A and B are shown apart, each in its own frame.
Chain A
Amino acid sequence: MASRKNIKFKYYVSYLIVAVALILFTVLQLTGGLKRSTANLLAEIGYSVILAVSLNLVVGFLGELSLGHAGFMCIGAYLGTLFMKVFSGFIPSQLVCLIISMILGGLCAAFFGFIVGLPALRLKGDYLAIVTLAFGEIVRNLFKNLPWFGGAMGYTSKGYGSTLFIIAFVAILVMLFAVQNLVRSKHGRAITAIRDNEIAARATGINVTYYKLIVFVIAAFFAGVAGVIYANYTTPILYSFFSYNYSIEILVMVVLGSMGSITGSILAASFLTCVNFYLKTHLSGDMAALKYLVYALILMIVVIFGNAPALRSFREKYNPKVLFAKFFKKKPNPAAERNDAGSWDRIPTKIKMDELLTVDVKSNESVQDPDKGEK
């Protein structure tokens, strides 16, 4: 029973973080105690979190690399601004206007996600990565040159003001609701099955293309929503912002938060945005390259440490959770890891035959431990 409760609690952690932050900062904002720069930072965190979680859906859960996430965001940003301009003519409330634009902007991005996904998902792995990258660059190039989006000098939007972050945080909650429910459903299990072994998944009767497309479209939708938020945060919007470098920045967030962990993506996106914000003030001149140096090292160290076959035993020995359990429960408790693997929040990476055996043996020995501990 304990493990079920665990899952439930973990299920709510991400909501809890976002909701607490939302309430706290909203109260502060309404009482006028919030600095403008903090409101800016919160808005940046808002759209970064949406981007990171939606990309995580593709990279972490589906297991395909998309380098065109900024392209979907670009569609949302440009078209969302267009919708804002159109609707502000006959809808007096800016809030209603923004919400409608967010939904429509997201839908447009999702539509393009579908258009691109339909043929592109026939491709796999590296080929899909390059096609999504190409797609992002095409989108950017088109918005730069189409006559009605302000050209190379940028598309001027109106800007929503300092309460934007509240809407961004509400959007995060809505997205969490959608994504968590998808991931924990039977569809979510089908998606992770595709990631772990596509051929096996297909053999068990999972409609691979259908699920890939679903994930692609949902991720594109939320990237579009993030784009609309971004467009209301900044003005003018510039095509150059949405280059594949930005897609990679989102990828860094996902990787740092550990692929396949939604809470991880939220925390990593918030953390990196804060660090970015801080570094902007404190690194000037060419030293600003240090930021990318740090990014590069994060990417390389996290990935090499987490994936290198030679480091497997090291990883098992020094897993943070095992260490944590050692520290608090006085004796190692490999079951902690097992429990975690069983929850849907963090799904183990591809299980090899030998791993499968060792994990099973371990868990059989100590599956009773946590229950005893709790009672």
Chain B
Amino acid sequence: MHLEQKSTPLAEALNAQRINRLAHFDVPAHKGGRMNQELGEYFGPLCMALDVNSMKPLDNLGHPVSVIKDAQQLAADAFGADSAFFMVNGTTSAVQTMIWSSCGRGDKIILPRNVHRSAINALVVNGAVPIYVNPGRDKRLGIPLGMSVAAVEKAIAEHPDAKAILVNNPTYYGICSNLEEIVRIAHKAGMLVLADEAHGTHFYFHEELPISAMAAGADMAAASIHKTGGSLTQSSILLTRKSVNPDYVRQTITLTQSTSASYLLLSSLDIARRRLYYKGHEMYEKTMEFADYAREEINALGGYYAFGTELVDGDAAFAFDRTKLSVHTRDIGLAGIEVYDYLRDDYGIQIEFGDIGNLLAILSAGDRMMDVERLISALAEIKRLHERSPAGLFDHEYIDPVIAMAPQDAFYTTKRRVPMKDSVGHIAGEFVMSYPPGIPIVAPGERITPDILEHILFAKDRGCFMTGTEDMNLDYIQVVE
């Protein structure tokens, strides 16, 4: 059967079931909200009626043979992939599937250290060993960039037995590595290329954006449709090419995936895919216009630096995603997280994240110009009212790690708790990170240095939301005995 992009087989089948008015003697027991009327009133009757479980006409995510299979094939076609897998546990599950289906215990994987925690978590679980490539660093901004081709070549030469290379396409800040070249040298060395496109779904739908993983020839990509592609939160897509066995990938997914996948999430992927196919170009054109305008206006305020394509250096910053509105705040003497807090607490504006020296606002075709004006004006006001000397502000987001053990070995070994302030010199047995962005400051198996401790204490002091440790207050850290 020939599938057309204008159809949404899964969403249509789901709606047909709703209209059928089946007598339900299956889970969920809320039965369209009748059992739990408070829930029905809260979410609305339509939402409740669509919250059904897997049944024959609605296919099964773990073993798709009908409408989910068709919807996934349409997604694969729309993204230029050979296969697509709908994911209901976020892009986290897509990233982990990429790693687990390409590396086993003790296998090496080459990756930049500024990955999302989900990638290192995958190594903790399956025992693959990271070979870190230190990302380039922008001196003025203090932010980690992409991987330089030379650094990847060196890692491949030193570890020719590595199974795969993971690439951020792009980083949270919107910076891309030279993915096509990395694919070329990786394939030459017989390694797979896995792309974390948690922040790059839109690359597939506009030619002025950096190249997408599938177009660059990567073998797998985790595309976070829920972040910038317009589907419901937690829904995501894993894209693969013929170079990997889709049935093995599917089997790997089912190791950890819920057998009760939410049809709200799944159908939102189907509907988002159709809209991206037909309207994606127009929507991201508008997003770039908003972002370009905001960058120009914010830079005209002085003090702030809303960075853009001028960062591109043809190497570690090979390309920049213009839809990202990343703003450097250190020159006005405020940490990004402080500006983030002022925006929400004083001006009612919620942005994506603030870290040590930068903030990130996510723009989309769903924005209105008057809200963009509000953001710019609020930034102007925060500068007018709170600007101070940048002296004493921590000046970098990223510290090259000192690796002492593999993540799995460090996580599962005998550990003990030490006060965070006394942790220098120890090997961390757990993660510490600000969330967002969720890039570990220290990961299991890494030695805690004075610089790392200072970073952690500074981030905590400025109000970053610190996570990862057993101790909810971060006063203590688990270290390797």
Chains A and B belong together in one complex: no
